[in-house]
């Protein structure tokens, strides 16, 4: 059976970008594949979270995974740091990753810009840790959003390089995967340009209350409006339509596209509709989330189950890698 694996950093609540880029795939794939879904808490240390925030965010994301429909009886759901074997594989893989290629990674360059006072070695080797997450369970498919494409390319490169150095055919080359279409998804933010993201401050969370969603959507950046029929669409308006396409019915999208093309659109109507459709879309999720978040016994049980299953697979890989590398008994 093919293996699927993916993870999310616990940096707060999941937003629509996380959901449409990743989690809806997770839910879909768990019925047909052997799936590993984890919470990338080692990765989140690159931004130096406070211990109490880290713990809280892990509980939040685990509850959100479950509220979205991840099923611990179908998929292995675990916390990255519960599986220490990942850290060992990361150490070993670091020996075959070159500083030059790591420095050229887009996400690294972005982080250097965003947090110039905290350019730690963990940021530089972020892609190596991510490759270790993926390779440790021999994943075939990795459902992620568009922003993670380069990391997957690097994972394939590290896998190939390991196989070449040790003259083995050990690691597979994992492929990015989107169940819902050919291309990976990029959900835009509400600020006119770029992707939706926690650190960009332009995100709508799955747990946001209706009033918060309305406020955020009504504040979204627009333009002065089409001057004449069939005007080209500016990026902020395209972005609103991209989100509308995810949460609304095709009829609704068509209606507003028509209005735009006739140059009769009122952005306030578009935003109102978008807000109400996001609220409707996220409502079942909001309700389930609170209930799961409060059930600590259940969360502990899920965590323990995932840890045991993930460790079984991970320790086998690390044992084999150690042998390939030459760490053996006399
Ligand atoms: P993270 O935590 O930044 O994001 C989690 C997932 O959500 C997707 N995503 C988006 N997709 C579309 N549009 C957006 N605006 C958007 N924002 C976020 C991301 O593409 C991702 O799939 N490095 C990873 C976590 C990770 C991982 C792994 C993933 C660590 N190890 C191994 C897969 C396999 C990250 O930081 O994702």
Buried b (16+ CB within 10 A) or exposed e, 155-182: bbbbbeebbeeeeeeebeebebbbeeee
Per-residue confidence (pLDDT) for residue 46, from 0 to 100: 95
SS3 annotation, 77-102: EEEHHHCCHHHHHHHHHHCCCCHHHH
| Distance separating alpha carbons of residues 90 and 110, to the nearest angstrom | 22
Per-residue confidence (pLDDT) for residue 200, from 0 to 100: 81
- pLDDT tens for each residue of 112-142: 999 999 999 999 999 999 999 999 999 999 9
pLDDT over 70, % of the chain: 100
Q: What is the CB-side half-sphere exposure of residue 169 using CA atoms within 13 A?
A: 0
Residue 245: pLDDT over 90: yes
- Ligand 1: which of 3, 4, 6, 7 to mutate, judged by most atoms within 8 Å of the beta carbon? 7
pTM listed for this prediction: 0.96
Residue 201: pLDDT over 90: no
Per-residue confidence (pLDDT) for residue 199, from 0 to 100: 80
Average pLDDT score over residue span 136-163: 98
- Is 271 marked active-site? no
Average pLDDT score over residue span 301-326: 98
Ligand 1 pocket member 302 (CB < 6 A): no
- Is 307 marked active-site? no
Where do the domains of the chain lie, and which CATH numbers do they carry?
Answer: 3-185+295-325 (3.40.50.620), 210-290 (1.10.240.10)
- Is 182 marked active-site? no
Structure tokens at 222: 């627009």
DSSP state at residue 176: E
Per-residue confidence (pLDDT) for residue 329, from 0 to 100: 87
CA of 313 to the centre of ligand 1 (A): 23
CA of 175 to the centre of ligand 1 (A): 15
CA of 7 to the centre of ligand 1 (A): 7
Question: Atom of ligand 1 at shortest distance to CA of 198?
Answer: 17
Ligand 1 pocket member 39 (CB < 6 A): no
Ligand 1 pocket member 10 (CB < 6 A): no
Question: Atom of ligand 1 at shortest distance to CA of 22?
Answer: 22
The CA–CA distances, whole Å, from 230 to 224, 233, 257, 262, 274 equal 15, 9, 10, 7, 22
| pLDDT tier at 198, thresholds 50, 70, 90 | confident
Residue 193: pLDDT over 90: no
Residue 96: pLDDT over 90: yes
């Amino acid at each position: 059976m093919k293996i699927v694996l993916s993870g999310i950093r616990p940096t707060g609540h999941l937003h629509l970008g996380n959901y449409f880029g990743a989690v809806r795939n997770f839910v879909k794939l768990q019925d047909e594949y052997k799936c590993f879904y984890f919470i990338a808490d080692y990765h989140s240390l690159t931004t130096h979270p406070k211990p109490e925030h880290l713990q809280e965010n892990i509980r939040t994301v685990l509850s959100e995974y479950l509220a979205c429909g991840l099923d611990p009886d179908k998929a292995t759901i675990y916390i990255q740091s519960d599986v220490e074997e990942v850290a060992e594989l990361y150490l070993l893989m670091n020996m075959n990753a070159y500083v030059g290629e790591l420095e050229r990674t887009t996400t690294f360059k972005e982080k250097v810009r965003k947090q110039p006072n905290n350019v730690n070695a963990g940021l530089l080797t972020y892609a190596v840790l991510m490759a270790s997450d993926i390779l440790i369970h021999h994943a075939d498919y990795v459902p992620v959003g568009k922003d993670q494409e380069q990391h997957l390319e690097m994972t394939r490169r590290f896998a190939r390089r390991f196989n070449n150095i040790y003259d083995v055919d050990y690691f597979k080359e994992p492929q990015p995967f989107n169940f819902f279409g050919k291309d990976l998804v990029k959900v835009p933010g509400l600020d006119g340009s770029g992707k939706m993201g926690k650190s960009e401050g332009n995100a709508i969370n799955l747990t946001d209350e209706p009033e918060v969603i309305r406020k955020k959507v009504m504040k979204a950046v627009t333009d002065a409006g089409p001057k004449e029929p069939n005007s080209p669409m500016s990026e902020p308006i395209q972005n609103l339509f991209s989100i509308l396409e995810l949460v609304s019915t095709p009829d609704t999208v068509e209606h507003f596209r028509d209005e735009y093309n006739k140059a009769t659109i009122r952005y306030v109507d578009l935003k109102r509709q978008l807000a109400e459709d996001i609220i409707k879309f996220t409502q079942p999720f909001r309700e389930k989330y609170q209930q799961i978040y409060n059930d600590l016994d259940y969360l502990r049980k899920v965590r323990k189950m995932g840890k045991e299953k993930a460790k079984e697979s991970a320790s086998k890989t690390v044992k084999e890698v150690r042998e390939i590398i030459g760490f053996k008994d006399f």
